[in-house]
Structure 1
Amino acid sequence: MLENLIIENFAIIEKVDLQFEAGMSVLTGETGAGKSIIIDALLMLTGGRASSEMIRHGCQKAVLQAVFRLPQNDQLLAQLEAIGVPCDDGELIIYRELNVNGRSLIRLNGVVVNLKTLAGVGQYLVDIQGQNDTQQLLNVDEHLILLDGFGGEALQSTKAAYQQVFQEFRAITQRVRKIQTSQQDMTQRLDLLQFQQQELAEAAIQPHEEEDLVDARGKLLNHKKIADRLQNAQIALNGEQSGAVDLLAQAMHELQEIAEFDPAYGELATTIADSYYTAQEVGRDVDEQIGALTYDEAELLRIEERLQLIHTLERKYGPTVADVLQFQAKVDQELAALDHDELDIEQLQVKQNELRQVIRKQAVKLREARQQVARRLEQDVNRQLSELLMTGAEFAVHFEPINGFISSGSDKVEFYVQTNVGEGLAPLAKIASGGEAARLMLALKTTFAKQQHIISIVFDEADTGVSGRVAQAIAKKMLTIATDSQVLAITHLPQVAAAATHHFLIAKTTENARTVTQVTALDEAGRERAIAMMLSGDDITTTALANAQDLRQQALKTHAK
């Protein structure tokens, strides 16, 4: 619940520090005293958009702060945990600062957040209901959510069973639709892939083939140069007159002749011997190369054609042979997948039809469960309307089947209402404004308050346009809501003010040529005088005071029950 509200330099409020308690609190005072400003401050603290014009004239900033005691609301606590806001002690402090430069600072338990985050948290904290309020209860898209919430765990279980089948049905339907709608594209793609697969398969490129071909072509193109150089090398090694092998043999022999005179000569002879035997081996290898060297013009032509094919494929499928081979693997994989789709389509359609039968049964089961809950909801709301003295009013839940299936079921649900006998049921969103609309919204709020888990509910003159017995009925309903959620009500009705568990009087005064709003928590005597003023105006008569005391006595008896 809301425990504390601090407002500084906001509109005509210089500073107020309000302490709230559980139950029902009313704020009363003359028109223009600043009651709605307090509600505006609460709105700003729960995600409402602000403007620098809201800052008190002559001030640099406005400061708003609220302290909430949090209930065990799993959704709210999970959201606070997700944004890193600590709430170990169950307390949430919201701080918002508005500056004349247009900047706004928002903190949740000291953690800086943006406006969107504040609004996400604020929806669980305060629900502001006014005479022309068009929030959740008037939003057609929310009616099914409210109905399901009212149904409790049993309905949620039936809904979960439907949604599980729906997820399977939607997945297979999307798969079938994807295959069917892209059939032409798939055929064209298949033709292209098959052409590419055949072209690459026929080419049969090997990983290092291009490098080997380039080397072979280089030899054929430089055949004469290679032959000449090999011949010269052979002559240099094995020439008849001064070949390198013979010269090395002579040098080795000469050094061996003197090796006995100095070990160094022996080492030189050994080194020369190594070179000699190596030269002999090289000479034999050169001879083999000369013998193997041939020139084949047909082979050169074949190599050129093969390289041309490889270069063509590289231009089409990748800059290198490795890229071409990688592309070929992808083509094979995609062809296999497309072929699988073609083979799978009939099996998918069989499974789709089977799931369609299952989901149809689950949708009917869900509809029947919701209709049972709707009957209970109708009875509850209609009882509330009767207790609010709306004779002839009727509330109904309207089901309209839709084509196909969506995640929420196979029906559109909308709340319908009749406010007067003979008018007929019409969508709730089209109800007229005024006291009847206010009572209808109050009946719905009484029914849904516990299920919605709102911490604090604010009624901003939601009782406008009623009086007498109806006013007493409205006061009773607000007290009923206050058993599950804290209620703050701005009211001009003495019956509502008398019924509240707490009463704040808002007054407007002038100090130092400036308008100042003051808020006073009233004791019992102050409450009686404030209610008497609501009955008779500023001049409190004895009769008005007696009536006020009587209203309070009746309220105290009600509280004691």
Structure 2
Amino acid sequence: MVRGTATTSAGRPLTALRGVIDEITIRDLGVIADAVLPLGPGFTAVTGETGAGKTMVVQALGLLMGERSVAGQVRAGRSQAWVEGRWRVPTGSAVSERVRDAGGDIDEVSATEAGGVGELILSRSVSSEGRSRAIVGGRSAPVGVLAELGERLVVVHGQSDQLRLRSSTEQRLALDRFAGPGFATTFAAYSAAFGAWHDLQGELQTLVSQRDERLREAESLRVAVTEIEALGPQPGEDVTLAERANRLTNLEDLRVAATAAREAVSSDEIDGMPDTVSLLDSALRQLERVRSHDSALDEIVESLASASFLVAEISTQLSSYLAELDTDGGAELDEVQERRAELSVLARKFGPTLDDVIAYFEAAGPRLIELDNDSDRIEELTDAVAERAAVVDALAADLSAARSEAAGRLAALVSSELAALAMGGANLVVEVTPVEELTATGRDTVQFLLSAHQGAEPRPLGRGASGGELSRIMLAIEVVLAETDPVPTFVFDEVDAGVGGASAIEIGRRLARLAQDAQVIVVTHLAQVAAFATNHLSVVKDSDGAVTASSVQQLVGEARVAEMARLLSGLPDSESGLAHARELIELAAGA
């Protein structure tokens, strides 16, 4: 298997920059029974006889890129078609992150100063009933994930008219990147200025549109602050008052219980029975009298003495408690209940808890100051918005001028490429149209138009052009944009339709130039195009009853010369054809 080590014009390996397809395996797709396409970086040409299934290569890529599948794609007599692609992608790229988000894995195969490179495997199966299944990095995933990855990995130009630059937004982005680093600097300054202006304008519009509402909010806050401030609630005050009210409400019960407890602990006599203190003192005297006869009593005597002291202390505490109860009165209960009622009103209005009321009060002050300053802020913002608008407007004018200049350069370069691609009368028109309203990208809309011949009215890309012409138009654009708007992999089908001779050589030369900065895969029937390839694959077929089975061969050496001769003359062993094929290969190698 031949694998190149292609680099970009800057000398950097393609696989370390954006990613390339290493290999595609196809099974039971259309007329292809079982085939492996070794690809890799550089320019791969796919040739073969009519009906051999060359376009199945493009269909296989389409399935891997999330295109709609149909049961008719499955080879006759088989239950399902299956396609697998092996990519090499930067492990830290957006593609890698999306694969991991989908639950898939990327196996790191090498590391460079610019970062690691990993292998990504994508596969897709289509059943004869039309059911489809996608596998991303070893894990089942929605077909939509393949479509997302495909937008970042592959661009196809051909019969399906999948224009990469299909929208005005994408065309503007391509033009902006083509405009160069000076434009990028201006655009960054514009983006920052526009963002600041937009934020200030939004704040001003909010203040103006909500002025009445904010006035009502300020008045409401003022009333609330006054009401809360008048009562001056303290943290935890509601809990303290509830406890106080409970005590005052049950004052008599508390007094009766405390009196009975004190008498039981310490009084002359309770119903003819001695109190607790007297009993403990009597027990202590009895043991003190005999403790000298047995040391085992020492510990008991000490414990009894401690109990006697503790009970005496309890008696003192109960006396103090009763004395304090005697000072409480009904008037205080009325005051407590009134205070609780006032705090309860606050809690219902601004709560639901007293802590919430206090938090509301603390936040209300700064908010009230902010609302009271609305008039000053509106005046300040009005001046700031006007000042910023002038800056944004000036930068937008700079962007428009730079875009117009870049549009002229891009149109001239692409038109020159079209002339070399047998479309001499065609011209690309890059139209930069001002709009009234400023946007995040400036004040312009951008549209790529094609004038098919001298004097023809420019029309949007894709209208009025055949599949082959459209492929050549896109080839011309991609060659010019390659340095500033890189794409990992380009696939061209029918790019050489309707051309030959010197024009076909120019197509091959431009594909080779594009392959300096990207992986290029081309389905072609012209030797003049295939001669420039660094990797040549041939789709061959065998007849097996009513079913045609195809396979793919990688051509090198004389096998490649023979295929080139077949493309030139229809005869793989024609001496003149072989000589012409060798001449073409030498011409391409020296180009």
Same fold, TM-score > 0.5, yes or no: yes
Equivalent of 1:443 in 471, 476, 480: 476
CA contact (8 A) 2:157 2:492 kept: yes
Q: Does 1:399 align with 2:432?
A: yes
CA contact (8 A) 1:65 1:93 kept: no
Describe how 1:77-88 pairs up with structure 2 within 5 A: 85-88=106-109
Q: Does 1:519 align with 2:546?
A: no
Q: Counterpart amino acid of 2:590?
A: A
Q: Does 1:414 align with 2:444?
A: no
CA contact (8 A) 2:527 2:564 kept: no
Find the counterpart in structure 2 of residue 41 from structure 1.
60
Describe how 1:180-219 pairs up with structure 2 within 5 A: 180-218=208-246
CA–CA distance in 2 between the matches of 1:72 and 1:273? 81
Find the counterpart in structure 1 of residue 567 from structure 2.
530
CA–CA distance in 1 between the matches of 2:527 and 2:266? 131
CA contact (8 A) 2:86 2:119 kept: yes
Q: Greater helix share, 1 or 2?
A: 1
Find the counterpart in structure 2 of residue 133 from structure 1.
161
Describe how 1:123-202 pairs up with structure 2 within 5 A: 123-131=151-159, 133-202=161-230
CA–CA distance in 1 between the matches of 2:531 and 2:266? 130
CA–CA distance in 2 between the matches of 1:257 and 1:492? 127
CA–CA distance in 2 between the matches of 1:530 and 1:46? 30
Q: Counterpart amino acid of 2:181?
A: E
CA–CA distance in 1 between the matches of 2:314 and 2:87? 97
Equivalent of 1:375 in 408, 428, 439: 408
Find the counterpart in structure 2 of residue 460 from structure 1.
493
Q: Does 1:11 align with 2:30?
A: yes
Inter-CA distance 261–541: structure 2 relative to 1 (3 Å threshold): closer
CA contact (8 A) 1:435 1:463 kept: yes
Gaps of 5+ in 1: 534-539
Equivalent of 2:119 in 74, 89, 92: 92
User: Greater CA deviation, 338-347 or 390-399?
Assistant: 338-347
Q: Counterpart amino acid of 2:106?
A: V
Q: Counterpart amino acid of 2:123?
A: R
Q: Counterpart amino acid of 1:6?
A: T
Inter-CA distance 74–370: structure 2 relative to 1 (3 Å threshold): farther
Gaps of 5+ in 2: 1-19, 111-116, 292-296
CA contact (8 A) 1:223 1:295 kept: no
Find the counterpart in structure 1 of residue 11 from structure 2.
none
CA–CA distance in 1 between the matches of 2:285 and 2:473? 131
CA–CA distance in 2 between the matches of 1:555 and 1:256? 124
**Secondary structure in 2 matching 1:106:** strand
Find the counterpart in structure 1 of residue 84 from structure 2.
65
Q: Does 1:307 align with 2:340?
A: yes
Inter-CA distance 435–64: structure 2 relative to 1 (3 Å threshold): closer
User: Greater CA deviation, 551-560 or 388-397?
Assistant: 551-560
**Length-normalised TM-score, structure 2:** 0.77
CA–CA distance in 1 between the matches of 2:262 and 2:118? 99
Deviation at 1:401, TM superposition (A): 1.8
**Length-normalised TM-score, structure 1:** 0.80
CA–CA distance in 2 between the matches of 1:421 and 1:269? 124
Deviation at 1:37, TM superposition (A): 1.0
**Secondary structure in 1 matching 2:495:** coil
Q: Does 1:485 align with 2:518?
A: yes
What's the Cα RMSD here?
4.4
Deviation at 1:131, TM superposition (A): 4.4
CA contact (8 A) 2:505 2:529 kept: yes
Q: Could you report, residue by residue, the CA deviation over 1:277-319 in whole angstroms, capped at 9, with x for unpaired residues?
A: 86477557645643x24333xx544443332233333333334
Inter-CA distance 241–401: structure 2 relative to 1 (3 Å threshold): same
CA contact (8 A) 1:446 1:481 kept: yes
Deviation at 1:524, TM superposition (A): 0.9
Inter-CA distance 392–245: structure 2 relative to 1 (3 Å threshold): same
Find the counterpart in structure 1 of residue 590 from structure 2.
560
Inter-CA distance 333–229: structure 2 relative to 1 (3 Å threshold): same
Q: Could you report, residue by residue, the CA deviation over 1:308-367 in whole angstroms, capped at 9, with x for unpaired residues?
A: 233333333334323332333343454344345554333233322222222222222233
CA–CA distance in 2 between the matches of 1:229 and 1:93? 84
CA–CA distance in 2 between the matches of 1:91 and 1:234? 87
CA–CA distance in 1 between the matches of 2:503 and 2:98? 40
Find the counterpart in structure 2 of residue 365 from structure 1.
398
Find the counterpart in structure 1 of residue 46 from structure 2.
27
Find the counterpart in structure 2 of residue 537 from structure 1.
none
Inter-CA distance 425–245: structure 2 relative to 1 (3 Å threshold): same
User: Greater CA deviation, 443-452 or 241-250?
Assistant: 241-250
CA–CA distance in 2 between the matches of 1:254 and 1:525? 130
Q: Could you report, residue by residue, the CA deviation over 1:77-106 in whole angstroms, capped at 9, with x for unpaired residues?
A: 777798762444246353414264946352
Q: Could you report, residue by residue, the CA deviation over 1:466-510 in whole angstroms, capped at 9, with x for unpaired residues?
A: 456654543443344344434332234565456656554434433
Find the counterpart in structure 1 of residue 16 from structure 2.
none
Q: Counterpart amino acid of 2:213?
A: D
Deviation at 1:14, TM superposition (A): 1.2
Equivalent of 1:386 in 414, 419, 422: 419
CA contact (8 A) 1:435 1:466 kept: no
Find the counterpart in structure 1 of residue 13 from structure 2.
none
User: Greater CA deviation, 138-147 or 10-19?
Assistant: 10-19
Aligned length: 550
**Secondary structure in 2 matching 1:441:** helix
Q: Quick one: percent identity of the two aligned structures?
A: 26
CA–CA distance in 2 between the matches of 1:31 and 1:198? 91
**Secondary structure in 1 matching 2:233:** coil
CA contact (8 A) 2:245 2:337 kept: yes
Q: Could you report, residue by residue, the CA deviation over 1:375-432 in whole angstroms, capped at 9, with x for unpaired residues?
A: 3212211211222243443223222223343222222222233222222334436454
CA contact (8 A) 2:43 2:520 kept: yes
Deviation at 1:40, TM superposition (A): 1.0
